[in-house]
């Protein structure tokens, strides 16, 4: 049996379960559940909730294929949990909403979640465990690293390079770069909600102001 686990039973977790059901229509012989190491409930919205250790002891067997995607928005926490699940031979799987738009030559890494009304245009490369929340977009000729989070309504225009473990808050706007000199956001940056990014951001920077550059 195929077991599809959502790691994290918080707000985004309950939002993406319906997307999973729509994107994987033939789930008759499969099971969907939550993994959560913090909350104490055993069931949420009709789905079983287990700690990671209890999930392994109950479902890891030769008869089951285990798949997981991580709903937690914190990029570094998502990276840590990805290492943990892969070490137990659990496969990452992506969820892509039927209401999203993905155009030509888009590479999307495993474990990604593409919410409704997200647009990924053309000639885009995206690493593993990418989160694009509702109404976000990525324009042409962009390269996005691993464990990047777009909160709702993030606008990433063309010729942008985003490093690993970057968090962009709700409504952030990244102005376009150009082919010769892309605009870059370095590893581990945090961009505040509503910020307008007009120039490259060095690695490990927290952008708290509304206008950067």
Q: Are 143 and 84 in contact (CB under 8 A)?
A: no
CA 174/CA 177 separation, integer angstroms: 9
Does 208 lie in the same domain as 197?
yes
Does 116 lie in the same domain as 72?
no
Does 154 lie in the same domain as 54?
no
Does 86 lie in the same domain as 110?
no
Does 187 lie in the same domain as 104?
yes
Rg (CA), the chain: 17
State which residues of the chain have pLDDT below 50: none
* Domain boundary pick from 61, 93, 125: 93
Domain range enclosing 47: 2-93
Whole-number average pLDDT of the chain: 95
Residue with tokens 């969820």: 95
Does 109 lie in the same domain as 76?
no
Does 100 lie in the same domain as 37?
no
Does 57 lie in the same domain as 100?
no
> Phi and psi of 90, rounded to 5°?
-95, 135
Q: Is 131 a catalytic residue?
A: no
pLDDT tens by residue, 46-55: 999 999 999 9
Q: Which of 79, 135, 140, 161 is catalytic?
A: 140
pLDDT tens by residue, 84-131: 999 999 999 999 999 999 999 999 999 999 999 999 999 999 999 999
């Amino acid at each position: 049996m195929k077991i599809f686990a959502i790691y994290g039973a918080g707000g985004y977790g309950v939002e993406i379960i319906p997307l999973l059901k729509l994107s994987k229509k033939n789930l008759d012989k499969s099971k969907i559940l939550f993994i959560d190491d913090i909350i104490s409930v055993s069931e949420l919205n009709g789905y079983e909730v287990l700690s990671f250790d209890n999930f392994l002891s109950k479902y890891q067997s030769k008869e089951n294929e285990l798949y997981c995607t991580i709903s937690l928005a914190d990029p570094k926490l998502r990276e840590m949990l990805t290492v943990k699940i892969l070490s137990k031979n659990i496969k990452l799987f992506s969820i892509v909403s039927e209401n999203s738009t993905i155009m030509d030559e888009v590479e999307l890494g495993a474990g990604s979640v593409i919410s409704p009304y997200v647009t990924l245009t053309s000639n885009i490369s995206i690493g593993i465990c990418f989160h694009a929340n509702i109404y976000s977009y990525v324009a042409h000729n962009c390269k996005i690293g691993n464990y990047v989070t777009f909160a709702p309504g993030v606008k990433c225009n063309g010729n942008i390079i985003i490093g690993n473990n970057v968090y962009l808050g709700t409504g952030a706007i990244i102005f376009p770069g150009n082919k010769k000199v892309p605009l870059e956001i370095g590893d581990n940056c945090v961009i505040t909600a509503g910020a307008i990014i007009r120039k490259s951001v060095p690695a490990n920077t927290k952008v708290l102001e509304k206008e950067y550059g």
